[in-house]
Amino acid sequence: MTPALLLAHGAGGTVRANFSPLIPQLSRKRKVHAVDFPGSGTTPRATAPLELDDLADRLVAAADGEERFAIIGFSMGCAVAMRAAQRHPERVTALVLTAGFARIDDETRARMQKWGRLLDGNPAVLARYLMSIVLGEPFHRRMTSEQAEGFLELIALTVPPGTPEQVDLVQRADLRAEAPSLTVPTLVIGTKHDRLITPSTTRALADLIPGAQWAELDSGHAPAIEAPAEWVRLIEQFLDSQAQ
């Protein structure tokens, strides 16, 4: 029987925002389960700092009785996926980690800190900043002014209330010690025009995981918007190879 799939979203995101273009195709062969982390979607905001162990256990609980499953992590969700594999090794069959990190570098940290500072300010200013770091430069350049304005409006209206805690977790997370002990088959996907998580940081993550496969998307930090067809193709190709 084909293992189910769990989806782990990124900081300041939701399952729908980060994965919705992929879900119809992924659901053709596998049951897909997901949970919005505290402060995203309809999940209540946390009253204390977020911890990876808790998010990993929340994610696994969303498997809804499935014995075994693969996990697709995006950005912060990669750290959650890796921790889930550490805590539940008998249940996780594979990992697909996109635009992830073991530990963010100083360049990314500065961007995350600015993001955090802007959360209490003008939503339009925050939206412009997020667009500048989330979209890859080639994709951003191809947008019409109408598309750009529409995207800015969407960002300003959809910032999850739990974003401060999620942004904080990204800055604290450090999986450099545990990544080399992962034994689950893993595909790491870099986003080569990423202006939030530097591509070299994602490459460093792949280098830490024994036997990890590497692939790259021609996108920035928004593959669901910039390259959804290629992203789902890479995921399915890898998962199908594990099922053989």
Give tens-digit pLDDT for 28-87: 989 999 999 999 999 999 999 999 999 999 999 999 789 999 999 999 999 999 999 999
Which tokens hold the place of 230? 């290629």
Tell me the Cα Rg of the chain.
17
108-148 per-position pLDDT tens digit:
999 999 999 999 999 999 999 999 999 999 999 999 999 99
Report whether pLDDT(243) > 80.
Answer: no
The helix/strand/coil state of 193 is: coil
If we measure between CA atoms, which residue out of 165, 202, 199 comes closest to residue 186?
202
Structure tokens at 51: 């911890």
- Is 218 a residue whose pLDDT tops 80? yes
Tell me, what's the pLDDT at 156?
Answer: 81
CA 217 to chain centre: 14
Sequential DSSP letters for 53-112: HHHHHHHHHTTTT-S-EEEEEETHHHHHHHHHHHH-TTTEEEEEEES--SS--HHHHHHH
Q: What's the CA gap between 36 and 162, in Å, rounded?
A: 10
pLDDT higher than 60, residue 174: yes
* Chain position carrying tokens 């992924």: 26
DSSP 123-167: HHHHHHHHHHHHS-HHHHHHS-HHHHHHHHHHHHH---TTHHHHH
Point out which residues pair with 189 in neighbouring strands: 98, 215
What residues form DSSP beta bridges with 215? 189
- Identify the band that residue 244 occupies on the pLDDT scale cut at 50, 70 and 90: low
Q: For all residues of the chain together, what is the average pLDDT?
A: 95
The predicted pLDDT at position 161 comes to 94
In this predicted structure, the answer to whether residue 19 has a pLDDT above a threshold of 70 is yes
At residue 93, the 3 state secondary structure works out as strand
How high is the pLDDT of residue 3? 83
Across the range 231-236, mean pLDDT stands at: 97
At residue 2 the predicted structure's pLDDT band, cuts being 50, 70 and 90, is confident
Q: Any bridge partners for residue 73, and if so which?
A: 8, 97
Residue 195, pLDDT above cutoff 70: yes
Note the pLDDT tens digit of each residue in 197-216.
999 999 999 999 999 999 99
* pLDDT of amino acid 157: 80
- pLDDT score, position 1: 57
Evaluate if residue 154 carries a pLDDT over 90. no
Sheet harboring 4-8: ordered strands across? Answer: 32-34, 4-8, 69-74, 92-98, 186-191, 213-217
Q: What pLDDT, on a 0 to 100 scale, did the predictor assign at position 7?
A: 98
